[in-house]
Amino acid sequence: MADRTAVPATSGSPQRPATLPSLTGLRFLAALLVFVYHTSYLVGPLRPDAPITFFADLDVAQPVADFFLPAGRIGVSFFFVLSGFVLAWSSTPGDRITAFYRRRVLKIYPNHIVTWALALWLFASTTPVEAWLSNLFLVHTFSNRADIAMSVNFPSWSLCAEVLFYALFPLFIVLVRRIKERALWLWAGGMVAGVAVMAAVTKAFMAGGAPSPFGDLTANQEWFGYAFPPPRLFEFVLGMILARIVAAGLWPRIGLLTSTALFCLGYWAALTVPDPYNFSLTTVVPIGMILCSAASSDLRGRNGLLGSRPMVWLGNVSFAFYLVQGIVVFYGRPEVLGTRTYDTLPAIGMLIVLFLANLLAAWLLYSLVEQPVMRRWSRSRKRPAPGTAPETAQQVPSQSKGPVRSGEVV
């Protein structure tokens, strides 16, 4: 399901809704980053004797795994900033909190429950009750126990952070709307500083426990700096503030090409700086720049490739594409495709096959679960009072520039 998006009303009279299809396309690119990270694993989390990578030559497989190690973390960070941006963009004063919570619950939980049940049936049946129960209700990453925080369907860990974001959003949006326009950039910088402070706190104060299998940190540091939801709030609120910056017409004409080049530099930095500073700190600013550049381009009527129909379709199935990776990649790859590895070119071909299988599973989940649920229950059945707009209508302030039209994004 794609939520309607529009510039949050800050002043002036309402206009027609604006759409940001490029942000939908960007959702899929973020999910793709997580996919290439997961499929580069030398061995899987379910079967330590079975490779996930298709590359037989370790001189190829190891550099590929090393190169894509930051990709999963950066993709998740992209989702968190994007989530704040889109929710702030689509929110208008007077939105009912109950309607907001209904849409968010219906967006997340049906897909989660289906993949949770499949994972429990296929490979997680021995999961302790406290782990699968906390996973079901998406509170499992509030525990620093590895058997709880990364239980059942592994990608669902990030949904714990999203649930926290949604719970606090009605409060945060009131506070963000009160920020004076001249102070928006200062507050955005403060959120980036918050990301840096959380990384420093993780490094300095959260040591202890067994070594993490994913880097140079301890498992406790990995949990606090990456999976524990509260520290990720800075990325979410940054996205909200950036939405206001674009809505107020304060974003300079920095294009996607420049923003993408800076993102590549940030990715290179993530390959070189130590954990946990490479979790999100090196790329959070370029990610924000990409979002603002894409949104501003859409408002000027220049959607480009990101706003094309294929990319919007891929963006619409991106949530499902992300969630099914634990089942398709970690379970399906060794169980269905076996443990065989290949020379470089056949390995790339098999990687494409696995991608298409993951995309097919995502389309089925989106078409059979997510889309029908959102169509049936996401909107109130009550008729709006005469002279009022429906609760899903979004409004554009007088500050927004360029052509606008109604539609959906993420």
Give the model confidence (pLDDT) of 305-358 as tens digits: 999 999 999 999 999 999 999 999 999 999 998 999 999 999 999 999 999 999
Nearest to 245 by CA among 88, 391, 63, 402: 88
Q: How many whole angstroms separate alpha carbon 244 and alpha carbon 237?
A: 11
DSSP state of 172: H
Residue 410 domain-assigned (yes or no): no
Give the tens place of pLDDT for each residue, 246-271: 999 999 989 999 999 999 999 999 99
Length of the chain: 410
Measured torsion, CA atoms of residues 315, 320, 326, 331, in degrees rounded to the nearest 10: -110
Give the tens place of pLDDT for each residue, 163-219: 999 999 999 999 999 999 999 999 999 999 999 999 999 999 998 778 887 778 999
Give the residue-averaged pLDDT of 110-122. 97
Measuring CA to CA, how many Å separate 88 from each of 95, 173, 403? 12, 7, 20
% of the chain with per-residue pLDDT over 70? 88
Residue 383 domain-assigned (yes or no): no
pLDDT value of position 396:
36
Give the residue-averaged pLDDT of 372-383. 79
pLDDT value of position 285:
98
Give the count of domains, the chain.
1
For residue 409, pLDDT beyond 70: no
Domain holding 234, by residue range, is: 21-377
Residue 395 domain-assigned (yes or no): no
pLDDT value of position 14:
38
Residue 389 domain-assigned (yes or no): no
38 or 14: which carries more pLDDT confidence?
38
For residue 389, pLDDT beyond 80: no
Nearest to 20 by CA among 242, 203, 274: 242
The residue type of 136 is L
H or E stretch at 188: helix 184-205
Residue 305 domain-assigned (yes or no): yes
Q: How many whole angstroms separate alpha carbon 194 and alpha carbon 80?
A: 14
Tokens (6 digits) for 39:
């499929």
pLDDT value of position 369:
97
Sign of the four-CA dihedral 279, 285, 230, 409: negative
Other CB atoms closer than 10 Å to residue 378's CB: what's the count?
17
Three-state SS for 332-357 is HHHHHCCCCCECHHHHHHHHHHHHHH
Residue 222 domain-assigned (yes or no): yes
Residue 12 domain-assigned (yes or no): no
Residue 16 domain-assigned (yes or no): no
pLDDT value of position 382:
60
37, with CB counted inside 10 A (0-12, 13-18, 19+), is: buried
Q: How many whole angstroms separate alpha carbon 209 and alpha carbon 149?
A: 15
For residue 8, pLDDT beyond 70: no
Other CB atoms closer than 10 Å to residue 170's CB: what's the count?
14
Give the residue-averaged pLDDT of 267-295. 96
404 or 101: which carries more pLDDT confidence?
101
Q: How many whole angstroms separate alpha carbon 119 and alpha carbon 326?
A: 8
Check: CB of residue 17 under 8 Å from CB of residue 394. Answer: yes
